[in-house]
Amino acid sequence: MSGRIRLGMVGGGQGAFIGAVHRIAARLDDRYELVAGAFSSDAARARASAAELHVAPDRAYASWQEMVAAEAARPDPVEAVSVVTPNHMHGEPAIAFLKAGIHVICDKPLCHTLAAAQEVERATLESRALFALTHNYTGYPMVRQARAMVAEGAIGALRVVQVEYPQEWLTTRLEESGQKQAAWRTDPARSGAAGSVGDIGTHAFNLVEFVTGRHVESVAADLTTFVPGRRLDDNAHMLLRLEGGARGMLWCSQVAPGNENALRLRVYGERGGLDWAQEQPNLLVHSPFGEAPRMIRRGGAGAMPAAAQATRIPSGHPEGYLEAFAQIYRDFAEEIVAAREGKAPDPARRLVPGIEEGMRGMRFIEAAVSSSQRDAGWVAIG
């Protein structure tokens, strides 16, 4: 690694949960240095956030427009920028930095509308810069283990996929309390056409495709808004049809008391099954047909190279959410440095979700909303 990557950030200032997560993830493996940012659309808050983060005053910007112009003109501009704003503000800064030749790390989902996402896709394809999307659950060692096991045929031909992501935090109308995260996530103008589907359903969908290596071809979705007065869905049940004939079910909910972040994936083939849960991320259960289940632990016996490459500490010392998030940043750093040096990146590191996964997520949202409007009729994911 030839020096830390100079990192900028758009959004993520005072009071923003996900901004802090991105900064921790970027620093965990010492690959990046935060040197610039437009941390808020409020100029005073942007300056105060920059001061707290020890960003030099001359690189603390009042807007992303000011930031991209000033950084592009510097002899030492940011090499990558993290876009950690609400969904409706992902597209324009991402496009501007891509056009300036600056790599982009964007929070998910890609945008608030498919049309806006297509503009980002066009800019990515036309730019020499790289694009990453932080579907961070793909960074867990045991998720990568599951992907490798499916690919090598450990469970045989794929038959059934069951994925769920229930939460409880929006069980009441929290958005009316002034809670910032709830307010924008339940606002169609900022979040997009879907609520729980866009926020956490996209993670579940991405996990299915990442682990199985199969695209979901169509969905039959029932989106529901249980909390009176809420403008977007807070629960969804879906049937999935995957390429190759496999079938699946997806449930995402933000009104399920007793669940905090209970993302779980079960994959079944003709010779066995795999079971992984985000709240116990260091364990993968492999159940060969007719045999006792096998517990595969991160860093332990049975862990494959795919898991080892995403592992930092010995077995028995738990790794979790922040480390998985950091894995996306670490792998993307390898791609950035390879591009910087004109080399091909390590193939084992090329698991970072990018523009293709971002577009898949946006088309999934569009198909789910359309299906629900048709009384859960089947809709193809374009």
The domains of the chain are located at 5-129, 151-313+359-380
Model pLDDT for residues 28-48, shown as the tens digit of each residue: 999 999 999 999 989 899 999
- Burial class of residue 11 in the structure, from the number of CB atoms within 10 Å of its CB (0-12 exposed, 13-18 middle, 19+ buried): buried
Domain 151-313+359-380 has CATH 3.40.50.970: no
Model pLDDT for residues 289-323, shown as the tens digit of each residue: 999 999 999 988 889 999 999 999 888 888 999 99
Domain range 5-129, its CATH number among 3.30.930.10, 3.30.70.580, 3.30.565.10, 3.40.50.720: 3.40.50.720
- CA dist 122 → 68, 132, 194, 356 (Å): 19, 14, 23, 11
Beta-carbon contacts of residue 102 (< 8 Å; ≥ 6 apart): 8, 68, 71, 72, 77, 78, 79, 80, 81, 129
Q: Do domains 5-129 and 151-313+359-380 have the same CATH topology?
A: no
Whether residue 38 contacts residue 16, with contact meaning beta carbons closer than 8 Å, is answered with no
Q: DSSP letters along 110-162, please? A: S-SSHHHHHHHHHHHHH-SS-EEE--GGGGSHHHHHHHHHHHTTTT-SEEEEE
pLDDT > 70: percent of the chain:
99
> For 172, how many CA atoms within 13 A lie in the half-sphere containing its CB?
5
Model pLDDT for residues 230-279, shown as the tens digit of each residue: 999 999 999 999 999 999 999 999 999 999 999 999 999 999 999 999 99
Q: Would you say residue 280 has pLDDT above 70?
A: yes
